[in-house]
Amino acid sequence: MTERKKKQRVVLSLLVLLWAGVIFWFSAQSGDDSSAASGRIVRQVIRLLLPGFETIPEAEQETILGTVTLIVRKGAHFSEYLILGSLLWGLIRTCTDRWKRLLGISWTVGTLYAVSDELHQMFSSGRSPKAADVCIDSAGVMAGILLCFLVFAYVRRRKRSRRAEN
């Protein structure tokens, strides 16, 4: 293994562990703290997208608030795991070039972490594990992996075409 690959492996291992720690920290928040944090984001999103929200009838406000809250919370799940999937892809890429193995290991590790993260929430006040969140997380992992595959393929294709031009 080259010295460059060793350095990449160390850096990516640290980034994966750091990001897994961030996800763990979010899951360790109580239900009230988690709701308060997402509530602040929801209010900012609504202010941005719906000026005059306060003038809408209260029943409609509640419906909009519920919908935006769901989108923000599930979008956060997806995004956290998209980043994890990307980092895992990079780390596993330092171990193998075989794309099926790279895809399978990255997705499996990310999904297993999602399962463990949901189970971890059983020990956080006001939180509970949800199978739907594991599915969203797993989809985020796959999106991160696929994004990396696309970027890598694009960069590789550009390098080849530049070499062919010279």
Residues 6+ away with beta carbon under 8 Å from 3: none
- C-alpha to C-alpha distance for 12 and 6, rounded to whole angstroms: 10
- C-alpha to C-alpha distance for 153 and 131, rounded to whole angstroms: 33
Tens-digit pLDDT profile for residues 69-78: 999 999 999 9
Tens-digit pLDDT profile for residues 13-44: 999 999 999 999 999 999 888 999 899 999 89
User: Confidence class of residue 124 from pLDDT cuts 50, 70 and 90?
Assistant: confident
